Amino acid sequence: MLERLRIPQDLLRRPAVFNPLPSPTYNCPLCQDRGVVLQGGKAYRCRCMKQKTLQNRFRLANLTPQLRRFTFENFDLKYYSRPHLESARRCLEAAKKFVASCLKDPHTKGLFLFGPVGSGKTHLAAAIANSLVNAGKQVLFTVVPDLLDELRSTYDRRPEDDSYTELELLDTARKAEVLILDDLGSHNYTEWTCNKIYSLINSRLMNELPTVVTSNLDLKELEEYLGERTVSRLVQLCYPYNLPVEEDIRYVRSREEYETLK
């Protein structure tokens, strides 16, 4: 004979407790990662999508997290002594004017920033890129030795590989709305590399596309490595600006950081 189950009366009087599944977590609680927000029966693009678009622009521009921190506002003129201060100020103003011109004219003449290692050329070039990306411009920031390495690597590409070809890489640089070539210096240039750089600069010149170039060498020194025809076209493509400094700013900042830790 089965025994009847006895349930305590106080337990029967307790309210039922349900344990629902945990609520999903969203990167954007406003639109719950759908990308749109419904208001008054209408769908609006969520502000998180604008942020994603901006992040994609920075990624496509090839701007690393460190480069993205460089702005005109944190380009500090205190690192330039009195003999070089005016040159640094001119470079800063030229970079700002270049950005303003690019936003008005897609065929603005570019900038050639040259000076010793650690003078702030990359900072200004990245500040230009960041300002233009924030304004919605298509920008490509590339370090010249890295670009050349990428082009060389395409020769080891197998037909079945889903990787870029040499032509695709060069076309991306040739056709970018704004191209920034960082560190066009005294590298071990072969006839092949000289021809690639000539082809790129000549294409930008023929299509009147804004280009910024930085180098540790002045135009005369650069001619020894790249040849007269390339430098001649670079002069047509860009206004030259000298950015001198007495001591590598990276070393100075490193000392300052060390002092604050002591």
Q: What pLDDT does residue 221 have?
A: 94
Domain ranges of the chain: 62-254
Helix (H, G, I), strand (E, B) or coil at 38: strand
Q: What pLDDT does residue 99 have?
A: 98
According to DSSP, the residues that pair with 181 across neighbouring strands are 142, 213
Q: What pLDDT does residue 92 have?
A: 98
Q: Which residue in this structure is represented by tokens 């090839």? A: 62
- 171 in Cβ contact with 151 (< 8 Å): no
- 178 in Cβ contact with 211 (< 8 Å): yes
pLDDT per 10-residue tile (average), the chain, 262 residues: 48 50 65 77 70 56 88 96 95 98 96 96 97 91 90 72 76 91 87 94 97 96 94 97 94 86 76
Q: What pLDDT does residue 7 have?
A: 46
The total of other beta-carbon atoms located within 10 Å of residue 28's CB is: 16
Helix (H, G, I), strand (E, B) or coil at 261: helix
Q: How far apart are CA 61 and CA 39, in angstroms?
A: 34
Q: What pLDDT does residue 52 have?
A: 55
Could you tell me which CATH number the domain at 62-254 has?
3.40.50.300
Q: What pLDDT does residue 104 have?
A: 96
Q: What pLDDT does residue 13 have?
A: 55
Q: What pLDDT does residue 161 have?
A: 61
pTM of this structure: 0.78
Q: Is 204 exposed, middle or buried (0-12, 13-18, 19+ CB in 10 A)?
A: buried
Q: What pLDDT does residue 260 have?
A: 83
Q: What pLDDT does residue 153 have?
A: 83
